[in-house]
Structure 1
Amino acid sequence: MTNSKHLPKRRFKEFELDGEWEQLKLGDHANILTGGTPNTSISSYWEPKEIPWMSSGEVNKRRLDKTDNMISNDGIRNSSARWVKKHSILIALAGQGKTRGMVAVNNIPLTTNQSVAAIEPDKTLNYEFVFQNLSKRYDELRLISSGDGSRGGLNKQIVSDISIACPNVNEQELIGNFLADFDSLITMNQHKLDKLKNLKKAYLSEMFPAEGERVPKRRLPGFEGEWSTKKLREITSLITKGTTPLEKSGEGEVNFIKVENLDASNGKILSCSKISSEEHNGYLKRSQLNENDILFSIAGTLGRIGIVESRILPANTNQALAIIRNKRSNLRYLAIALKSGSITNFILSNPTIGAQPNLSLEQVGSLEIPFPSLDEQKQIGEFFHKLDQSITLQQQKLDKLKDLKKAYLNELFV
């Protein structure tokens, strides 16, 4: 550990006695090149598909083993597209949204469009070390490209002038490989999370009857017979919504829940703003929340679900969330049934289009809920609850890995 300006906070043991790192300018130790786009109106530049060709949006892949598009040998001969060596660092000079300033590594030789700069490092720089360094400096790259990070773009000269603090190439390689292994671990856990989410999506499709059907495709053991359907208003004691507080400070003693406070994957209620007890018990009284109320988003983002837990009370909500108070069904089952295919299809095909998509309380009350026996409801609710717990645990594991990598990035680089 050290506080030296030119030494990292954390260093691998075999390099602890080595000296300070050296500031190197990329343009002095790498070949910087930009690409081009063959004329899209000339088909012979794009067919046959012979040469990998990437656009700036593909930096989001981070590691490229293939590209979305290919050009022909004719295309590269008649454009500014140029071959980029394998294991170069690719930086988006421009692009939609957050693309500009993002970096990737190519695991294959390829060509790029004009919105990508390729950094082909010489023997003094390890490509993985440079990639990880620039990944860490995304916000900085956004700022130097425009002054405020919102508009403008990077260019070849700006990339050439980027300075990187570097140890010898052996230490660079060790740092780069360590962080690359961390990336592999993160990717593996992301795949596990995606698999669980896709599994849940498949179960939602198969464990509830398809539209017009009375029996689900997949069923838990021990159950048979047709399901009935109930309108949501028939199995609930309350369907209402809140309103926007007059006081906009976001301060007070009572939690005020909005759509964005509901976790999209598990429905957990995240941190939220506050309102005063006076508002909560006054003009917002009709939307006071009880434990086990279901929150169902009906404006903007439609169909997001959450269950109110005691820990969040006292709480209130606004007009973008319907409050559904259960009466005649299993709570967990009802919450998951509101995510089933028939309900999702209704939401997608029946929103009232205004400034933003929305559903009326009348439409919510008219939702037709698949309705098996209470015993089957309970088991289905438990099944999805356990699956959601697995998803939450995997998400937490992934988040911890990402946080740990972020800490290593801060400590392993100057």
Structure 2
Amino acid sequence: MNHVPAIRFAGFTDPWEQRKLGELCSFAKGRGYSKADICDSGVPLILYGRLYTRYQTRIDDVDTFAVEREGSLFSCGNEVIVPASGETAEDIAVASSVRRSDIVLGGDLNVLTPGAELDPDYVALVITYGKAHVELAKRAQGKSVVHIHNDDIADVDFPYPTTREQQAISSLALSFDDLITLHQRKYDKFVVLKKALLEKMFPRDGASVPEIRFAGFTDPWKQRKLGEVADIVFRTVEIEDDKEYQLVTVKRKNAGVVQRSVVKGRDILVKNYQELQTGDFLISKRQVVHGGNGLVPPSLSGAIVSNEYLVLVGNAKISSEFWALLSMTKTMCTCYFLSSFGVDIEKLVFDVDDWKKRQIAIPTQTEQSQICSFFRDLDDLITLHQRKLTLLRNLKAACLEKMFV
């Protein structure tokens, strides 16, 4: 085995050592506490779910609290925590260092305390990004829920350099984390800004003008029945057995139209399908109350969907791009909800005819175009920060992969 990494900081030349984690750490288990125990004040608490929803290499502070129980396990400030259960083997093989004392470590957490040879941040990084991650994932057991025990972690082969080199690696990774956090905050601010502007730049229920408006536009928005402005199309497709078809679906929370699969015509059991074109506005009749709608991008032009979807196109009264923005507003979400019927929120059926009778305020095509252009630029900014985030995360992972044995 090569005990020298591909990338190394200048000044470090000694070969790395390798031992079982059980020889290098002591082990404990988090005790008690669940999400139901969280309250506004009390002792600070970490639950295993944090490693999935808000993963950090190093946890310095927490914003969840609980009433202290007898027998609780408190951190000393040099622990490493690994979730004991999760949905997949890949997800569960992650770790965070806890660098603050007196935090309660809740149930379903494996707790490692590294010895003097190891830096806690480094241990968390190797378990999350190094070969230990792959080895630990292989040891996860279970189907619908997978589990990892302290014995599994203790048996993992763990390569490590001197503590000084470990700290240098940890410092680089934590610097990446600071950059990632900075861009995440910028991204989050733009997302919140878009949501706020959607509220302000569209009239509220019953109003005829929005609170915020571009200069030069003074005419009230016209109340129109949705059936008067909605241009619904159904481009029937004759399914051929030997031809391949691209199937699509819409993601919830207005997250867009995406490819679902590519299949042969013979594998499509229900033949009542329609073709999509670039710029169509697609609505899922079963997911519309969950924001299941979006514009069809050029990459999915020619794809097909069943009659479980409603396809709208732009016309002289309203553009398809404006439909997409309108569908993110509370007013339109209310229309979708009031026209959906059923008992179970997950199984509501959208009544298109009922929806067509509802009213919505729309401006002139010129003002629509101005609004769409503004939100297009805002979406470009959001996408830019999203790409920067992805780039930084990928760069961090690539660097660490080369810096570990």
Hey, what's the Cα distance between the residues in 2 that align with 1:333 and 1:39?
A: 44
Please state if 1:11 is matched with 2:4.
no
Alpha-carbon spacing, 1:320–1:107, altered in 2? closer, same or farther (3 Å): farther
Runs of at least 5 residues in structure 1 that lack an aligned partner in the other structure:
none
Aligned partner (choices 329, 333, 337) of residue 326 of structure 2: 337
Hey, what's the Cα distance between the residues in 1 that align with 2:133 and 2:358?
A: 46
| Paired position in structure 2 for 1:125 | 118
Aligned partner (choices 150, 158, 161) of residue 156 of structure 1: 150
Please state if 1:307 is matched with 2:303.
no
Hey, what's the Cα distance between the residues in 2 that align with 1:379 and 1:58?
A: 42
| Per-residue deviation, 1:139 | 5.8
Hey, what's the Cα distance between the residues in 1 that align with 2:271 and 2:108?
A: 54
Hey, what's the Cα distance between the residues in 2 that align with 1:108 and 1:327?
A: 60
Name the amino acid aligned to 2:215.
Answer: P
| Paired position in structure 2 for 1:360 | 351
Runs of at least 5 residues in structure 2 that lack an aligned partner in the other structure:
none
Hey, what's the Cα distance between the residues in 2 that align with 1:121 and 1:358?
A: 55
| Per-residue deviation, 1:175 | 1.0
Contact 2:254–2:291, Cα closer than 8 Å, also in 1: no
Contact 1:48–1:71, Cα closer than 8 Å, also in 2: no
**In structure 1, the residue corresponding to 2:159 is in which secondary structure?**
strand
How many residues are treated as equivalent by the alignment? 392
Contact 1:33–1:118, Cα closer than 8 Å, also in 2: yes
Q: What per-residue deviation string (whole Å, max 9, x for no partner) do you get for residues 296-344 of structure 1?
A: 2222364333323445332222234321022122342232112211011
Identity over aligned residues, as a percent? 24
Deviates further, 21-30 or 150-159: 150-159
Alpha-carbon spacing, 1:318–1:47, altered in 2? closer, same or farther (3 Å): closer
Hey, what's the Cα distance between the residues in 2 that align with 1:358 and 1:183?
A: 44
Q: Answer 1 or 2: which has greater strand percent.
A: 2
| Per-residue deviation, 1:398 | 1.4
Structure 1 segment 54-93 matched on structure 2, within 5 A: 54-60=46-52, 61=54, 62=56, 63-64=58-59, 65-72=61-68, 75=69, 78-79=70-71, 81-93=72-84
| Per-residue deviation, 1:271 | 4.4
Hey, what's the Cα distance between the residues in 2 that align with 1:299 and 1:392?
A: 28
Please state if 1:185 is matched with 2:179.
yes
Name the amino acid aligned to 1:237.
Answer: D
| Per-residue deviation, 1:14 | 2.7
Name the amino acid aligned to 1:379.
Answer: Q
**In structure 2, the residue corresponding to 1:208 is in which secondary structure?**
coil
| Paired position in structure 2 for 1:287 | 274
Aligned-pair RMSD on alpha carbons? 3.6
| Per-residue deviation, 1:209 | 1.0
| Per-residue deviation, 1:259 | 2.0
Name the amino acid aligned to 2:24.
Answer: H
Structure 1 segment 108-257 matched on structure 2, within 5 A: 108-109=100-101, 110-136=103-129, 138=133, 140-146=135-141, 150-240=144-234, 252-257=243-248
| Paired position in structure 1 for 2:370 | 379
Name the amino acid aligned to 2:279.
Answer: N
| Paired position in structure 2 for 1:32 | 27
Name the amino acid aligned to 1:144.
Answer: R
Q: What per-residue deviation string (whole Å, max 9, x for no partner) do you get for residues 269-301 of structure 1?
A: 544533568999x955x7222332211222236
Name the amino acid aligned to 2:44.
Answer: P
| TM-score calculated relative to the size of structure 1 | 0.82
| Paired position in structure 2 for 1:106 | 98
Name the amino acid aligned to 1:34.
Answer: K
Hey, what's the Cα distance between the residues in 2 that align with 1:107 and 1:272?
A: 43
| Per-residue deviation, 1:384 | 0.9
Q: What per-residue deviation string (whole Å, max 9, x for no partner) do you get for residues 49-108 of structure 1?
A: 653233222333334302512334xx3xx32x2222114211111357787444222232
**In structure 1, the residue corresponding to 2:284 is in which secondary structure?**
strand
| TM-score calculated relative to the size of structure 2 | 0.83
Contact 2:247–2:259, Cα closer than 8 Å, also in 1: no
Contact 2:250–2:258, Cα closer than 8 Å, also in 1: no
| Per-residue deviation, 1:142 | 4.1
Alpha-carbon spacing, 1:106–1:252, altered in 2? closer, same or farther (3 Å): farther
Hey, what's the Cα distance between the residues in 1 that align with 2:238 and 2:399?
A: 43
Structure 1 segment 252-263 matched on structure 2, within 5 A: 252-260=243-251
